[in-house]
């Protein structure tokens, strides 16, 4: 049997970052930058106010106090966006709103809360032409946001290799970029196989099974950051699957960067995937669930992963072998989900000589809600389905929040043992 890590390395070897394309900011979300973004802008563009208040000279108000107010004549009004440049000289102030450029002469902003109008009838703000009283001192530079303190020309604002999230989109927009250069989003075909499969909601004659894997895998493909092309289910006739896979590999369904199938890879008498595909290496991997696996590259160059049909096996196999490959196509260097150490809240025996990917929950069974931590602060995990890994228990898989990775040489997990877990 091939080891989990060895098979993972083989599957990663099939994937490479996709070519770079230029896309609009929102279309870049979830994709990986293929080029640095270096700004030629100054950000903020101008010294500007951090507060609604009055731009003034700090020296003028150096002795201001509630019982010793300092009167300033209001000589102008600056809303954010205003291009006016009223000059502030000793004894004067300009009303200024948050974000407006600090006017010439002023070296500080008095928040409106530290002032009162000399004429109490006018409300919280003195009017232009009126008088405002400072009732507290401010230091030179107080409440002024300096030009260039966020970014200066030549600064590296975004780095190639970064996964674009909302903050990256905002940073690009703030330095005047409406597009980003990213690795193209992978498009992955998903095919479920088997005569027994029926579309969701269709009548279920005896022996038939609702096709959940094509939905599971298509959703997982999309969650991983790719676009899913969901096809099938195909029948147990190898010719049908062979023709579909050839069409995908030939580009007859548009660009396809990879193909994932489910079912038909064990030792059954009707294992259609094994029968249909040549050039695919079928191996047993020392992992549970997910033992029967297939991997290869089609004549047209398209990578293909053939996953086992049991739904939990399909899910765990996707996490272990397909998701990292998709992440690499996206252009990521670190393709793994972050793992953390958790504490087993229950115990179970594990299959000898095989690593285990156990669906786990972080909340107590039958008690939805908060994540549970032990006295040491570490998260406690329970098997999502008690009584074995149950690779057919697809409805119950939905209570799992992650997978625990139990190494092949661990024969048994006992309550209190440390487990490596990643969230799914």
Ligand X SMILES: Nc1nc2c(c(=O)[nH]1)N[C@H]1C(S)=C(S)[C@@H](COP(=O)(O)OP(=O)(O)OC[C@H]3O[C@@H](n4cnc5c(N)ncnc54)[C@H](O)[C@@H]3O)O[C@H]1N2
Q: Determine the 3-state secondary structure of 154 from DSSP.
A: coil
Taking the complex as a whole, the smallest distance from the CB of residue 189 to ligand X amounts, in Å, to 14
Return the closest-CA partner of residue 340 out of 370, 379, 369, 373.
379
Q: Which entry of ligand MOO, ligand X, none binds 261, CB below 5 to 8 A by partner kind?
A: none
Q: Could you identify the residue written with the tokens 């107590």?
A: 364
Does the protein bind ligand X through residue 319 (CB under 6 A)? no
Does the protein bind ligand MOO through residue 290 (CB under 6 A)? yes
Q: Which entry of ligand MOO, ligand X, none binds 380, CB below 5 to 8 A by partner kind?
A: none
Return the closest-CA partner of residue 54 out of 123, 160, 159, 131.
131
Of 214, 310, 350, 385, which one interacts with ligand MOO (CB under 6 A)? 310
* Residue 3 in tokens: 């080891």
Q: Which is nearer to ligand MOO, 184 or 354 (CB)?
A: 354
Q: Which entry of ligand X, ligand MOO, none binds 197, CB below 5 to 8 A by partner kind?
A: ligand X
Taking the complex as a whole, the smallest distance from the CB of residue 195 to ligand MOO amounts, in Å, to 20
Residue 35: count other Cβ atoms within 10 Å of its Cβ: 14
Does the protein bind ligand MOO through residue 289 (CB under 6 A)? yes
Burial class (CB in 10 A: 0-12, 13-18, 19+), 233: buried
Return the closest-CA partner of residue 319 out of 219, 191, 212.
219
Q: Which entry of ligand X, ligand MOO, none binds 74, CB below 5 to 8 A by partner kind?
A: none
Of 288, 306, 350, 356, which one interacts with ligand MOO (CB under 6 A)? 288
Taking the complex as a whole, the smallest distance from the CB of residue 219 to ligand MOO amounts, in Å, to 19
Of 53, 117, 225, 308, which one interacts with ligand X (CB under 6 A)? 308
Q: Which entry of ligand X, ligand MOO, none binds 262, CB below 5 to 8 A by partner kind?
A: ligand X
Helix axes 323-330, 4-12, angle to 10 degrees: 30
What is the x/- site pattern for ligand MOO, positions 364-403, by CB under 6 A?
Answer: ---------------------------x------------
Asked if 228 and 190 count as a contact pair (C-beta separation under 8 A), the reply is yes
Phi, psi of 85 (to 5 degrees): -135, 65
Return the closest-CA partner of residue 424 out of 274, 320, 341.
320
Cα–Cα distances in angstroms (integers) from residue 129 to residues 94, 120, 134, in the given order: 10, 15, 16
Does the protein bind ligand X through residue 101 (CB under 6 A)? no
Residue 306: count other Cβ atoms within 10 Å of its Cβ: 28
What is the x/- site pattern for ligand X, positions 135-164, by CB under 6 A?
Answer: ------------------------------
Does the protein bind ligand MOO through residue 194 (CB under 6 A)? no
Q: Which is nearer to ligand X, 192 or 302 (CB)?
A: 192
- Residue 2 carries which DSSP code? B
Q: Which is nearer to ligand MOO, 213 or 391 (CB)?
A: 391
Burial class (CB in 10 A: 0-12, 13-18, 19+), 377: exposed
Site for ligand X in 259-298 (CB under 6 A): 262-268, 271, 289, 291-292
Q: Which is nearer to ligand X, 331 or 390 (CB)?
A: 390
To 5 degrees, how large is the angle CA 394–CA 396–CA 398?
A: 85
Residues in the site for ligand MOO, rule: CB under 6 A? 288-291, 308, 310, 313, 391
């Amino acid at each position: 049997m091939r080891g989990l890590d060895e098979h993972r390395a083989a599957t990663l070897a099939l994937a490479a970052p996709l070519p770079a394309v230029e896309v609009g900011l929102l279309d870049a979300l979830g994709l990986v930058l293929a080029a640095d973004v270096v700004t030629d802008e100054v950000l903020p563009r101008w010294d500007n106010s951090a507060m609604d208040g009055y731009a003034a000279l700090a020296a003028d108000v150096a002795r201001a106090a509630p019982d010793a107010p300092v009167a300033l004549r209001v000589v102008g009004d600056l809303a954010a966006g205003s291009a006016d440049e009223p000059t502030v000289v000793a004894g004067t102030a300009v009303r200024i709103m948050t974000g407006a450029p600090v006017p010439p002469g002023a070296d500080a902003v008095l928040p409106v809360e530290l002032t009162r109008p000399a004429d109490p009838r006018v409300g919280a703000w003195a009017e232009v032409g009126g008088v405002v009283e400072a009732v507290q001192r401010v230091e030179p530079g107080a409440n002024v946001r300096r030009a260039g303190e966020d970014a200066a020309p030549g600064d590296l604002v975004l780095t190639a290799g970064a996964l674009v999230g909302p903050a990256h989109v905002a940073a690009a927009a703030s330095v005047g970029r409406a597009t980003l250069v990213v690795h193209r989003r992978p498009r992955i075909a998903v095919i479920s196989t088997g005569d027994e499969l029926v579309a969701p909601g269709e009548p279920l004659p005896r022996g038939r099974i609702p096709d959940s894997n094509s939905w599971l895998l298509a959703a997982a493909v999309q969650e991983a950051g790719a676009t899913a092309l969901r096809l099938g289910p195909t029948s147990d006739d190898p010719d049908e699957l062979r023709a579909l896979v050839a069409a995908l590999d030939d580009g007859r369904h548009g660009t396809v960067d990879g193909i994932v199938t489910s079912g038909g890879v064990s030792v059954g008498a009707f294992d259609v995937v094994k029968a249909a595909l040549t050039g695919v290496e079928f191996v047993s991997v020392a992992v549970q669930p997910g033992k029967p696996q297939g991997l290869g590259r089609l004549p047209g160059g398209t990578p293909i992963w053939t996953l086992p049909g049991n739904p939990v096996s399909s899910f765990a196999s996707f996490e272990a072998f397909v998701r990292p490959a998709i992440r690499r196509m996206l252009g990521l260097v670190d393709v793994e989900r972050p793992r953390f150490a958790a504490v087993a809240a229950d115990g179970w025996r594990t299959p000898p000589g095989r690593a285990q990917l156990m669906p786990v929950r972080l909340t107590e069974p039958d008690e939805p809600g908060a994540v549970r931590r032990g006295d040491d602060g570490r998260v406690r995990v329970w098997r999502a389905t008690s009584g074995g890994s149950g690779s057919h228990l697809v409805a119950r898989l939905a209570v799992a929040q992650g997978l625990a990775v139990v190494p092949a040489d661990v024969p048994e997990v006992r309550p209190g043992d440390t487990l490596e877990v990643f969230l799914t």
